[in-house]
Amino acid sequence: MLKVSVVIPTKNRSALLAQTIERVESQTFPREQYEVIVIDNDSADDTRSVLEQKRRTFSNLKCGFQDKPGAGATRNAGLRMAAGELVVFIDDDVQAEPGLIQSHVEYQDKNPGASIIGAVTIPWGETTEPFLRYLRDHRILNPYTPSKGPIDFSYYHTCNVSTPTNVLLKVGGFNEAFTIYGMEDIELGYRLEKAGSRMIFAPEAKALHYRFPEYDDFMRRCENAGYSLGQLLSMHPELKPRFVESGRITRHLKGFHQLYKGAAFMMSPLVSLLTSWERRRGTGQIAGLIDMHYSSAVRYHFFLGYRRYTKDQTPWAENQPMTAIQPSLAKESFK
Is residue 334 in some structural domain?
no
Number of residues written out for the chain: 335
Is 63 found in the same domain as 101? Answer: yes
Is 163 found in the same domain as 115? Answer: yes
How many Cα atoms within 13 Å fall on the side-chain side of residue 122? 21
Q: Mean pLDDT over all residues of the chain?
A: 85
The stretch 217-228 carries a mean pLDDT of 92
Cα–Cα distance between 214 and 119 in angstroms, integer? Answer: 23
Cα–Cα distance between 33 and 31 in angstroms, integer? Answer: 5
**Residues 152-196: pLDDT tens digits?**
999 999 999 999 999 999 999 999 999 888 889 999 999 999 999
Is 28 found in the same domain as 134? Answer: yes
Is residue 253 in some structural domain?
yes
Is 207 found in the same domain as 221? Answer: no
The stretch 44-63 carries a mean pLDDT of 95
Cα–Cα distance between 44 and 177 in angstroms, integer? Answer: 23
Question: Which CATH number fits the domain that encloses residue 139?
Answer: 3.90.550.10
Is residue 172 in some structural domain?
yes
Please determine, for residue 330, whether its predicted confidence score (pLDDT) is greater than 50.
no
Least confident of 17-21, 47-51, 296-300: 296-300
Is 234 found in the same domain as 169? Answer: no
Among candidate residues 91, 114, 65, the one with its CA nearest the CA of residue 7: 91
Last residue of a domain, one of 213, 230, 249: 213
- Structural domains of the chain, count: 2
Is residue 325 in some structural domain?
no
Is 267 found in the same domain as 192? Answer: no
Residue 323 confidence class, pLDDT cut points 50, 70, 90: very low
Is residue 327 in some structural domain?
no
Is residue 147 in some structural domain?
yes
Q: Could you tell me the residue range of the domain that residue 241 belongs to? A: 216-319
Among candidate residues 305, 44, 16, 314, the one with its CA nearest the CA of residue 180: 305
Highest mean pLDDT among 207-211, 262-266, 315-319: 207-211
**H/E/C letters for each residue in 37-68?**
EEEECCCCCCHHHHHHHHHHHCCCEEEEECCC
Q: Cβ of 73: how many Cβ atoms within 10 Å?
A: 23
Supply angle C-alpha 145, 149, 237, rounded to 5.
80
Is 135 found in the same domain as 259? Answer: no
Q: What percent of the chain stands above pLDDT 90?
A: 56
Is 223 found in the same domain as 84? Answer: no
Is residue 328 in some structural domain?
no
Last residue of a domain, one of 183, 213, 243: 213
Is 313 found in the same domain as 169? Answer: no
The stretch 66-76 carries a mean pLDDT of 92
Is 309 found in the same domain as 258? Answer: yes
Residue 148's φ and ψ, nearest 5 degrees, are -165, 170
Is 204 found in the same domain as 267? Answer: no
Highest mean pLDDT among 36-45, 145-154, 173-182, 308-317: 36-45
Residue 313 confidence class, pLDDT cut points 50, 70, 90: confident
Is 172 found in the same domain as 128? Answer: yes
Please determine, for residue 328, whether its predicted confidence score (pLDDT) is greater than 80.
no
Last residue of a domain, one of 179, 213, 247: 213
What is the predicted pLDDT for the residue at 187? Answer: 97
Strand partners, 117: 161, 201
Q: Cβ of 118: how many Cβ atoms within 10 Å?
A: 29
Is residue 161 in some structural domain?
yes
The stretch 223-242 carries a mean pLDDT of 91
**Residues 97-109: pLDDT tens digits?**
999 999 999 999 9
Long-range pairs of 235-244 with CB within 8 A, sequence gap ≥ 24: 235/175, 235/187, 235/316, 235/317, 235/322, 236/187, 236/190, 239/190, 244/306
